[in-house]
Amino acid sequence: MDWIVHASTYADSVDNAILLITWLVGFWFFLTLGIFFWLIIRYRAKPGVDAQYLTGGEAQPKKFITWIHMLVLVCDVFIVVAAIRVWVEVKQTLPETPETQTVRVIGQQWAWSFVHPGPDGQLDTPDDIKTVDDLHIEVDRPYIYELTSRDVMHSFSVISFRLKQDAVPGRVITGWFQATKAGDYMIQCAEMCGIGHGLMPATVHVETPEQHAAWQASQSGGAMLAQAGR
């Protein structure tokens, strides 16, 4: 799973769950496929060799199937536990540390609008910074997002963060992320949203605190303008 960047705190958790499933499922897959091909090759029709009358009612093969049954169930338990642990971490817990900031993410046809809290760290204050298609966050700072949509369903997906959540009109969904690596990452829309669905790439800029402060300073004028226009 090092194929793609993992740039958030929970990216590794998601990857590890995937890895666990890969091992468990891979084992069964190759075992089954191996047996399958072996049977096809081994029991090809040969002159003089008849098929055996096995209805599966016999005790021996029945026991065999029951065994597999149980093993599959045990694997399922592992997978369920791993999946739910990741799920709770990503979707059901919010960071509560004081440095946590909240950003508002609004999907619309066909762009993403972001409302940053600005220097005071609070939303709905005059220094909020609004941007389109560019989300600016600080590295290593936990963020809570409030996600909604203006028109149709969209999906806020940052693959490098392993973050994905649909934006549903008439509903505000909260979640969180904490970037661990500075850099620019791609935001895709992951829910069919109309003609421009393929044309709404946005970027999340993960910045060091200094870079972030510089960006905020450069935006303050724009924020004032946006405020005046409200």
Partner 1 sequence: MATAEVTHDAHDDHGHHADAGFVKKYLWSTDHKMIAMQYLVTGMAMALIGGFFAYVFRMQLAFPGVDVPGFGIVSPAEYNALVTNHGTIMIFWVAMPVLIAAFGNFLIPLMIGCDDMVFPKINRLSYQVFLLSAIVLVSSFFVQGGGFGGAWTAYPPLSAVSAYNLTPLGSTLWVVAVALEFVAFLLGGINFITTAMNSRAPGMRLYDIPMAVWMIVVASILFMASVGPLIAGAIMLIFDQTLHTGFFDPAKGGDPVLWQHLFWFFGHPEVYVVLLPALGFVAEIITTFSRKPLFAYRTVLYTVFGTGILSFTVWAHHQFISGIDPRMAHIFTITTLLISVPIAEMMFVYIATLYRGSITLTTPMLWALAFLGEFLIGGVTGIFLGASGPDIFYHDTYFVLAHFHYTFFPIAIIGSFAGLTYWWPKITGKMMNETLGKIHFWGTVIPFNLIFLPLFVLGQLGQHRRIYSYEGFGELMRDDVLLGMGMQDLRILATTALVVMLAFQFVFFLNVFLTLRKKEKDAGSNPYDANSLEWLAPSPPGHGNFAELPTVYRGPYEYSHPDRKAKGTDFWPQWEKE
Partner 2 sequence: MSDETHGPAHYKKIWALLVVLLAISFLGPFVGIHWLTLATAFGIAIWKAWLVLKNFMHITAQPRFVSYMVATCLVFMLLFYAGTAGDVMKHSGDQWYKPQVEQSAPVGHHGEHE
CB-side neighbour CA atoms (13 Å) of 135? 31
Site size toward partner 1 (CB under 8 A) is: 84
Q: Do residues 174 and 194 touch, judged by C-beta distance below 8 A?
A: no
Of residues 134-193, those binding partner 2 (CB under 8 A): 148, 170-175
Stretch that binds partner 2, among 4-12, 87-95, 115-123, 199-207 (CB under 8 A): 87-95
Omega of the bond leading into 110 within 30 degrees of 0 (cis): yes
What's the min distance (Å) between Cβ of 94 and partner 2? 7
Query: Rounded CA gap, 170 and 86, in Å?
Result: 27
What is the Cα gyration radius of the chain? Answer: 26
Residue 8 — left, alpha, or beta (φ > 0 → left; ψ -120 to 50 → alpha)?
beta
Which string of b and e fits 4-31 if b means at least 16 CB within 10 Å? eebbbbbbebbbebeebeeebeeeeeee
Position among 114, 145, 176, 185 found at the interface with partner 1 (CB under 8 A): 185
Using the contact rule CB under 8 A, the part of the chain among 115-123, 126-134, 155-163, 217-225 near partner 1 is 155-163
What's the first-to-final CA gap in the chain, in angstroms?
45
- Interface pick for partner 2 out of 52, 60, 92, 97 (rule CB under 8 A): 92
Question: What is the nearest approach in angstroms of partner 2 to the Cβ of residue 146?
Answer: 10
Selected binder of partner 1 within 122, 132, 169, 227 (CB under 8 A):
169
Among partner 1, partner 2, none, the one that 190 touches (CB under a kind-dependent 5 to 8 A) is partner 1
Q: How many residues bind partner 2 (CB under 8 A)?
A: 10
| Residues of span 77-136 touching partner 1 by CB under 8 A | 79-80, 82-87, 90-92, 109
Q: Is 230 helix (H, G, I), strand (E, B) or coil?
A: coil
3-state secondary structure (DSSP) of residue 212: helix
Among 16, 83, 89, 91, binds partner 2 (CB under 8 A): 91
For position 157 contacting partner 1 by CB under 8 A, the verdict is yes
Nearer to partner 1, 27 or 225 (CB): 27
Q: Segment 188-207, which members bind partner 1 (CB under 8 A)?
A: 188-199, 201
The residue (of 46 and 228) whose beta carbon lies closer to partner 1 is: 46
The phi, psi pair for 136, rounded to 5°, reads -110, 120
Rounded distance between C-alpha atoms, residue 119 and residue 149, angstroms: 25
Tokens of 126: 């005059």
Which residues are near partner 2 by CB under 8 A?
A: 91-92, 94, 148, 170-175
